[in-house]
Amino acid sequence: MKIPIEISARHVHLCPRDVEKLFGRGKRLTSQTPISQTGQFLSRERVTLRTTNSEFANVGIVGPERRETQVELAATDARRLGVAAPVRESGHLTGTPGITITGPKGSVKITHGVILSKRHIHASKKDAKRHGLRHGQLVSVSIKGERAVTFHNVIVRVHESFHWRLHLDTDEANAAGLTGNEKGDVIV
Amino acid sequence: MKIPIEISARHVHLCPRDVEKLFGRGKRLTSQTPISQTGQFLSRERVTLRTTNSEFANVGIVGPERRETQVELAATDARRLGVAAPVRESGHLTGTPGITITGPKGSVKITHGVILSKRHIHASKKDAKRHGLRHGQLVSVSIKGERAVTFHNVIVRVHESFHWRLHLDTDEANAAGLTGNEKGDVIV
């Protein structure tokens, strides 16, 4: 079964309290571009991620606000920052390292929340039913081309608001020679 | 068949003329650390790679000198530098982009030579015979673990001086969750 691939560059999710600390009292994230998953958007606002080793400026924020602040890096980024970020599913932040996030009105030093995103498939309940997949299932995805790759241990996440997509980080996309808009084949 | 994996960070190879331009008249590269392929070494000398977009300082040089200067980047690096480097075998430099290389005694602006290294296996003639592989053959290599991956289109390079190794760049290693010293399984 074919699946469209989306490449996630390093980005952050912010809780409402951290949005206020970074952008000012009473502020909310504002949408610059909707993204494929319903209701989510790349915000106009940007932050800087900083460690004693290095920093990344102009890092995107995916809104709307979430319950907990989370930073998603590629392993290349984590190495440059000197952060030992583990591979995790979104929201599974126990025991992950922290980082300093800076915006125009202030900084927050999170004590945990920095992860390498575990590669995953978004599927609606309808998609899951059609393809015989279940929430939490691990599948492989095969990608053709000069740098053909099969990614294993891809986790399926099912939610009625989801759209049928494979999400990879920039290291994974580069290893597969992807630039965006390619498709993969899901292998169960 | 099991194969040890080595991860190549961005590095350059230099022709004798460029070594003199970068490090001074009569200079030769000097070995800091021998690397796995016979006679090759990571040199004590370092260079800076620079474009109008960005730069990387302290880039390693793999010696000894070669016939033609060559720069091997990960796709993450190439994107940051704004260089449209294609996936190529080492030494296949026709039509590749150039870059500015700077050393302590001068700079060279190469007109071509920047590549993303095509993932490859080094095999001695004995290795090749033992495993039934031939020079130029494309195989797959499967890697276990949390970020398990199968890399396809891995080219086999056979030379009597070679040692049995899979060479991946840092994007590929990161996509597979590798940190060094792991092994893969070659699938013919």
Is A65 a member of any domain? yes
Beta bridge partners, A4, equal: A183
Backbone dihedral angles phi then psi of residue A148, each to the nearest 5 degrees: -55, 140
Residue B2 lies in a domain: no
Geometric angle at alpha carbon B5, from A143 and B93, rounded to 5°: 70
Measure the CA angle with vertex A125, ends A123 and A130; round to 5°. Answer: 85
Interface test with chain A among B87, B174, B179, by most A beta carbons within 10 Å: B174
Record: contact B170-A119, CB cut-off 8 A:
no
pLDDT per residue rounded down to tens, chain B (188 residues): 999 999 999 999 999 999 999 999 999 999 999 998 889 999 999 999 999 999 999 999 999 999 999 999 999 999 999 999 999 999 999 999 999 999 999 999 999 999 999 999 999 999 999 999 999 999 999 999 999 999 999 999 999 999 999 999 999 999 999 988 899 999 99
Task: Please tell me if residue A176 touches chain B, with a CB cutoff of 8 Å.
Answer: yes
Q: B117, B133, B155 — which closes off a domain?
A: B117
Total Cβ atoms within 10 A of residue B109: 10
- The verdict on residue B135 lying in a domain is yes
pTM of the predicted model, to two decimals?
0.95
Task: Please tell me whether residues A16 and A54 are part of one structural domain.
Answer: yes
Q: Please check whether residue B3 lies inside any domain of the structure.
A: no
Q: Residue A180: which pLDDT band, with cuts at 50, 70 and 90?
A: confident
Do A42 and A110 share a domain, yes or no? yes
For an interface test with B, the pick among A174, A178, A187 (most B C-beta atoms closer than 10 Å) comes out as A174
| Residue partners of A136: CB distance under 8 A and separation at least 6 | A155, A156, A157
Domain CATH for B169: 2.40.40
Which residues touch A131 (CB under 8 Å, ≥6 apart)?
Answer: A1, A123, A186, A188
> Are B42 and B56 within one domain?
yes
Contact B105/B148 with Cβ under 8 angstroms? no
Going by C-alpha positions, the residue among A173, A12, A56 that lies closest to residue B78 is: A173
Residues of A (65-124) whose Cβ lies below 8 Å from B:
74-76, 79, 87, 119
Q: With contacts defined as CB-CB under 8 Å, which chain B residues touch A149?
A: 149-152, 175
Q: Is the peptide bond before A97 cis (omega within 30 degrees of 0)?
A: no
| B50: in domain | yes
Query: What is the chain A residue with the closest CA to B150?
Result: A150
CB B109 within 8 A of CB B98: yes
Segment (H or E) for B108: strand B106-110
One-letter amino acid of B75: A
Same domain, A113 and A20: yes
* Domain hosting residue A177, numbered range: 120-187
Same domain, A108 and A128: no
pLDDT given at position A121: 98
B4 inside domain: no
pLDDT-derived band at A37 (thresholds 50, 70, 90) equals: confident
- Tell me: do A46 and A108 sit in the same domain: yes
Q: Give the pLDDT mean for A30-39.
A: 92
Chain centroid to Cα B53, Å, comes to 23
Q: Does B182 touch chain A (CB under 8 A)?
A: no
Rounded CA-CA distance B173/A146 in Å is: 17
Distance CA A155, CA A135 (A): 8
Q: Is the pLDDT of residue A71 over 90?
A: yes
Contact between chains at B74 and A119 (C-beta distance less than 8 A):
no
Q: What percent of chain A has pLDDT over 90?
A: 97
Residue A61 in domain: yes
Partner residue opposite B174 with nearest CB, options A152, A171, A177: A171
Q: Which of B171, B178, B187 is the mutation pick for testing A, counting most A CBs within 10 A?
A: B171
Do B108 and B140 meet the contact criterion of CB atoms below 8 Å apart? no
3-state secondary structure A48-66: EEECCCCEEEEEEEEECCC
Out of B57, B87, B117, pick the residue that ends a domain. Answer: B117
Identify whether A67 is part of a domain.
Answer: yes
Q: How many domains does chain A have?
A: 2
Please indicate, yes or no, whether residues A31 and A50 belong to a single structural domain of this protein.
yes
Residues from chain A that touch B79, judged by Cβ atoms under 8 A, are 174
Domain co-membership, A104 together with A15: yes
Look at residues B117, B140, B165 and tell me which one is the last residue of a structural domain. B117
Question: What is the number of H-type helices and E-type strands within chain B?
Answer: 4, 15
Cross-chain residue pair B146–A87, CB shorter than 8 Å = yes
The structure tokens listed for B15 are 């022709």
Question: Is the domain of B110 the same as that of B17?
Answer: yes
Q: Do residues B83 and B125 touch, judged by C-beta distance below 8 A? A: no
Averaged pLDDT score across all residues of chain A: 97
Whether residues B96 and B130 share a domain: the answer is no
Looking at the structure, tell me whether residues A101 and A135 fall in a common domain. Answer: no
Cα dist. B77→A118, A171, B94, B169 in Å? 22, 11, 20, 11
Residue A15 sits in the same domain as residue A104:
yes
